[in-house]
Structure 1
Amino acid sequence: MGFGDLLEVVGSFGRFQFTLISVLSIPSLFLACQNILQNFSAATPNHHCKIQLHENDSLHLGNLSTQDLLRVSLPLDMKNKPESCFKYTETAWHLLGQNDPYVNGTEIEKEPCTDGWIYDTSIGQSTIVTEWDLVCERRSLKQIGQSVYMGGLLLGSIVFGGLSDRFGRKAVMLGCCLQMAVTGTCAALSPNFTAYCILRFLLGMAGSGITLNAASLVVEWVPDKCRAVTGSLGGYFFTFGQLVLAGLAYAIQNWRWLQFATTAPYFILFVVLWWSPESARWLVLNNKSEVAVKQLKQVAKINGRKEEGEKVTAELVNSSMQRELQAAKSRFTIADLVKTTSVRKISFCVSLLWFSTSFAYYALAMDLQSFGFNIYLIQVVFGAIDIPFKIISTATMNFIGRRFTQSACLILPGLAIISSLFVPEDQRTVRTVLATLSKGMLAAAFTGCFLYTGELYPTVIRSKRKKSAKPNKEEVALEEVKEPLFTNSV
């Protein structure tokens, strides 16, 4: 008998689990907003060099139109539009009424913008690009802003994963919610780009902590047979978050207010999640059986199984989880992920799976401006396409298998992305359709990533010893754990 059997006693999937999953999925909604926020907060509007006329140019102004002023001040690009990063060294008055940028066969000299830029703010949009001039030779800084956020996600998964195994899922999740709310608010007040990057890094760390611990709480309160469905539910909230972001970004054109609007809800979530339960499994493994019993009885009451719940005692819980308790006494490190051949194979495949899925997904999701369509409309389409693919993947994972679904969700978008390379750039619709379908399938692949990681990695890594070798106590403890226990540190 293990913890799964205790869940069957108090109700393996009832009103309690449904409510818990629904509440713990809400953070995914706003995390989606943070992950792709820079599509809007770092959007680059049309821009050109700020024009500074010389004193002797006043004689030529007269009734000069804005278009003519741009023509004599800025060179044209290959699309016959004013260049974004260069201007003429001298005002080319002779170009009025003609398009030849040559004087006596010599091209007019040009230089980088020295007096700043003028941005197209016809729709009132304010971004970090327009505020801190992240264009031309500084345009790489825009990507750095997103990169440091993703770096925060990486470090957060390492730091908060280990902390949750020590201090509990709920405590770390609450701390991350508060960190997300505070750093998000501070990011909206950033005085400069450096401060903005630091705060976004802390935001990413908190985001990982929330996601990992919410997923752990869900997995540790539901039976094995429901994992595919419950894992997918969080993905649907993430999809809905992309649609919410499109609406918020359209309504809030100022990046500071948009940043605040997408992180302020975590103040409310901090209060709401305060009443969420801790993992009973974690409580037992950390010598808090009495607290676990109280929670199990409360769960039984909510699920309409009060009489069965009254039979649960600390002695019953400890005896049921004797093997898990024995195995939990052994010490394990990250080195156990590569200690045996079978676990090394799992670690390599899971790592490659996460890298390829994340790399391709965010390469598509974070480059909406390149499609040349309305960015708000593209965001809605990119968000909505996830829904049908996630429904299909959930069904195939349950009835066909995880491996087939995961393979299909990676191979098909890979072929679509490669095919788009051979589509001419002027056929924007075809390229956008291929990218949209690819993004939907990759979103479905993420569901498989979470399930694989949770189902293949137990809390204690079970190693297969050689038959000829004499097993030590630690190996016996590992071998006896038949029910996988999930951990964030692994």
Structure 2
Amino acid sequence: MTAGKSNYQRRRSSAPPNVDIVEHVNGSFGRWQLRTILLIFLCKIPTAWFMACIIYTAPYPQRGELVCHPATWNGSHTAQAHGSMLHSRNTDRLFSVQVCNAYAQSLSQNFVRHYGQTWNATSAQLMLPCDKVEHNTEYKSLITQFDLICSRRVLVAVTQSFHALGALLGGLLAYQALRYISPRRLMLLGMLGQIFCGNLTGLVDTYQLHIYFRCLTSVCCTIMYTAGHQILMDITSGKARILVVTLSELFWSIGLVLLPAISIYFDNWSHLYVAISSSLIVLVWLHRWITDAPRWLLRHQQVEPALRILLESATHNNRMVPLTMDVQLTVYAAEMSAEPKISYCQIWDKETKRRQLIYIHFIWGCAQVLYNIILLMIRSLGEAQVHVNTAALGFAEMMGVFVGLYFILYTRRYWRWTGNLMIVAGLCTYLVWLLPDSDRNSRRVGLELIFWMLLKFANSASIAVLTTCTGEMVSPAKRILLMLSVVSFGRLCLVFSPLLSTLTVVHRLLPITIIATIGWVYGLIMRFLNRFYWNTEQVQVGQVPTPNTYRRNSAVIMRRCSTASSDVSGYSNELLRNFEQTVAVSIADLWHINFNTIHECDSMKELSETVEKPHSSMHSI
């Protein structure tokens, strides 16, 4: 009876008052959370595929793949007149610049060669625009399907701009929809919408419909992973939540690494879209094992479904539940519904300095632009190595995520370390101009890829820190609105950033120079935020003492502690020897051997308690 009563009291005391009942039952992390986390993470892989598939659906044309038919020159020209001119170009850069035009001098020389007549060109260096471009590529891409070259080349960037526009609209729609639709159900709607609109994106035969459905698919993708993020934040807490939020970016990188393998099996851009979008059918089937957000249910007074979820969580995680959990959930739901609503304008109420809020918005915009443009511009390094280059960027991004996680968990000044990393990466990228101006062979592409990977690595580390630590700038009630604001601003910048890829017409190194400048500038601003926000839980690392310093200072400390207390001096020599062996101090205290009296008394009390415990147990026996 006594054992049963004590067991009942232990179980009853397992639910202390004034504790979040959801966190108390779920715990910070467990087997039940792991199942849902992995399934939500898997949903990010097809989303990353759809975002980055422009690399393989719109590759840059190579020499010999396009044939220029110039406009009528002095009344006649032949289709063969431009052939030697195309093959006379030595580099892809010259080819990409001049592919849309034909030289009058070349036409004149070929006319004489073919017809054996003298032709006096009045303007030998006249540039004639192409009247028609013939495509001789084996891979059917967006460029060949919709003739996106010459004056329409900018439409390739417009395609990606509409994807960014869809992400912006999807984030805003998800925030509004979560007021009425549960995250789990909204996530399913996003999956179904991505499957439907993604397949139509690859099957339509007009460019206008293509960018329209690409925008809609991006909306569905954003709704899906925004709802999934809401679930992740609800079922985790503490350090486990930091790990989950940071490592969620890792699956974007896994998607980049797997995308080249997917694209190898498809020789048509529309087939690639269909394959990427149809892969979500597997995740729709796995959706049954994704749980809903219990706090969302309680906030909307749905106590019974929340109770069912918490009982499932306690069963899988082998945790104890309060006997009055249904009552506690009802009270907690009433408290959540009574919380005042926070408006967007309250973020700017000067509780946090507005200058700092402007800085964090600027940092998010720059980081998102770099993340997107670095990936898109990998096409400019050459079609032959595009699969290897994409996988290399994916691995660099993975390494950046882990470095960012290390900064968050084990450094005090993670804003400063991340800013330093971005500054170094941005300034080192300028060295790409020192590479010899040779043909775009594998060696040259590999050297340029090093600088792209360095920027990608640093940018990925900064995004990991931004995603996890931006919310600390405001109170917990305002964090959702602040994250919505900075993410939406970053996506707004993404709408215009793909146009930077068109600057390769001026010089192929101009875009990477611009994004390197953006990188070290926002790295400087991150260093400025370091003055106001840092990890106070992490102890500052001090100077490492030498063995001689340790022996000298530790002897002084033990001598003072053994002589300053009359309690200790009254014990036997054996207890004093045990005292000298078990006493421990921190490295900081070892350096500051001039302790005050309070610290000495506290240490003596703790020592006396540990010494008395063995004696009391002996008397009880």
Shift of 1:311: 2.9
Shift of 1:32: 0.9
Shift of 1:144: 0.4
Match of 1:93 among 110, 129, 138: 110
Check 1:71–1:20 CA distance in 2 against 1; reply closer, same or farther (3 A cut): same
Secondary structure of 1:342 counterpart: coil
Residue identity opposite 1:414 in structure 2: G
Give the structure 1 partner of residue 99 of structure 2.
84
Shift of 1:324: 3.9
Residue identity opposite 1:337 in structure 2: I
Check 1:488–1:388 CA distance in 2 against 1; reply closer, same or farther (3 A cut): closer
Per-residue CA shift, 1:2-39, capped at 9, x if unaligned?
Answer: 67553233333110111111010011111111111101
Give the structure 1 partner of residue 152 of structure 2.
138
Secondary structure of 1:13 counterpart: coil
Cα RMSD (Å): 3.3
Shift of 1:374: 1.1
Residue identity opposite 2:464 in structure 1: T
Give the structure 1 partner of residue 371 of structure 2.
361
What CA distance in whole angstroms lies between the structure 1 residues aligned with 2:259 and 2:344?
Answer: 37
Shift of 1:343: 6.6
Relative contact order, higher structure (CA 8 A, sep 6+): 1
Residue identity opposite 1:48 in structure 2: V
What CA distance in whole angstroms lies between the structure 2 residues aligned with 1:405 and 1:4?
Answer: 34
Matched ranges for 1:249-398 at <5 A:
249-305=263-319, 308-309=320-321, 311=323, 313-320=325-332, 324-327=336-339, 330-342=340-352, 344-345=354-355, 347-372=357-382, 374-398=385-409
Asked if 1:446 corresponds to 2:460, the answer is no
What CA distance in whole angstroms lies between the structure 2 residues aligned with 1:11 and 1:169?
Answer: 20
Secondary structure of 2:260 counterpart: helix
What CA distance in whole angstroms lies between the structure 1 residues aligned with 2:136 and 2:18?
Answer: 63
Give the structure 2 partner of residue 219 of structure 1.
233
- The structure where helix makes up a greater share of residues is 2
What CA distance in whole angstroms lies between the structure 2 residues aligned with 1:371 and 1:408?
Answer: 27
Asked if 1:431 corresponds to 2:448, the answer is yes
What CA distance in whole angstroms lies between the structure 1 residues aligned with 2:121 and 2:129?
Answer: 23
Matched ranges for 1:100-249 at <5 A:
103=120, 106-107=123-124, 109-115=126-132, 117-121=133-137, 124-249=138-263
Shift of 1:118: 2.6
Asked if 1:26 corresponds to 2:39, the answer is no
Give the structure 2 partner of residue 479 of structure 1.
none
Residue identity opposite 1:44 in structure 2: Y
Shift of 1:346: 5.5
Give the structure 2 partner of residue 473 of structure 1.
none
What CA distance in whole angstroms lies between the structure 2 residues aligned with 1:385 and 1:378?
Answer: 11
What CA distance in whole angstroms lies between the structure 1 residues aligned with 2:474 and 2:183?
Answer: 17
Residue identity opposite 1:378 in structure 2: N
Check 1:174–1:344 CA distance in 2 against 1; reply closer, same or farther (3 A cut): farther
What CA distance in whole angstroms lies between the structure 1 residues aligned with 2:401 and 2:215?
Answer: 29
Residue identity opposite 1:29 in structure 2: I
TM-score when scaled to structure 2?
A: 0.66
Secondary structure of 2:140 counterpart: coil
What CA distance in whole angstroms lies between the structure 2 residues aligned with 1:94 and 1:415?
Answer: 51
Check 1:304–1:341 CA distance in 2 against 1; reply closer, same or farther (3 A cut): closer
Structure 2: state its 5+ residue gaps. 1-16, 439-443, 486-621
Structure 1: state its 5+ residue gaps. 462-483
Matched ranges for 1:479-490 at <5 A:
none
Residue identity opposite 2:84 in structure 1: R
Higher-Rg structure is 2
Secondary structure of 2:321 counterpart: helix
- The range that moved more, 23-32 or 431-440, is 431-440
Secondary structure of 2:426 counterpart: helix
Secondary structure of 2:67 counterpart: strand
Alpha carbons 2:48, 2:256 under 8 Å: kept: yes
- The range that moved more, 426-435 or 291-300, is 426-435
What CA distance in whole angstroms lies between the structure 1 residues aligned with 2:294 and 2:263?
Answer: 40
Residue identity opposite 1:315 in structure 2: V
What CA distance in whole angstroms lies between the structure 1 residues aligned with 2:394 and 2:99?
Answer: 31
Secondary structure of 1:118 counterpart: strand
Alpha carbons 2:25, 2:321 under 8 Å: kept: yes
Shift of 1:84: 1.1
Residue identity opposite 1:11 in structure 2: G
Give the structure 2 partner of residue 71 of structure 1.
84
Match of 2:55 among 39, 44, 52: 39
Alpha carbons 2:162, 2:215 under 8 Å: kept: yes
Give the structure 1 partner of residue 594 of structure 2.
none
Check 1:227–1:420 CA distance in 2 against 1; reply closer, same or farther (3 A cut): farther
